[in-house]
Amino acid sequence: MSSTTFTVRVETDVKKRLEKLAKSTGRSRSFLAAEALSEYLDVNEWQVAGVRKAMDSLAGESVPHEQVKAWVNSWNGKRERPAPKRSAT
């Protein structure tokens, strides 16, 4: 697999922690940073894809924010409102 170089600015404490971990594991800072970025991207790409899929599944149906807000604000009150119904947008 080919690789490329780029620069990233981190806080001094983060750099020191990375250096300490690299030394204790016998890995380079570059290797550890690349692994961390790869894992971060895997998790976040998966999460964003899931959110997009969920949003697409609404297929044009939604509940206006103000209706949801009014419903939530009524919780634990004397007159709790029923959950708002989805409507086509």
Tens of pLDDT along the chain (89 residues) come to 899 999 999 999 999 999 999 999 999 999 999 999 999 999 999 999 999 999 888 777 788 899 999 999 999 988 999 999 887 65
pLDDT of residue 87: 73
Residue 74: CB partners within 8 Å, gap ≥ 6?
A: 80, 81
φ, ψ for residue 38, nearest 5 deg:
-65, -45
Domains of the chain: 1-57 (1.10.1220), 62-89 (no CATH)
Percent over 90 (pLDDT), the chain: 78
Other beta carbons within 10 angstroms of residue 83's beta carbon come to 11
Lookup: tokens for 78: 């004397």
User: pTM of the predicted model, to two decimals?
Assistant: 0.62
pLDDT per position as a tens digit, 46-70? 999 999 999 888 777 788 899 999 9
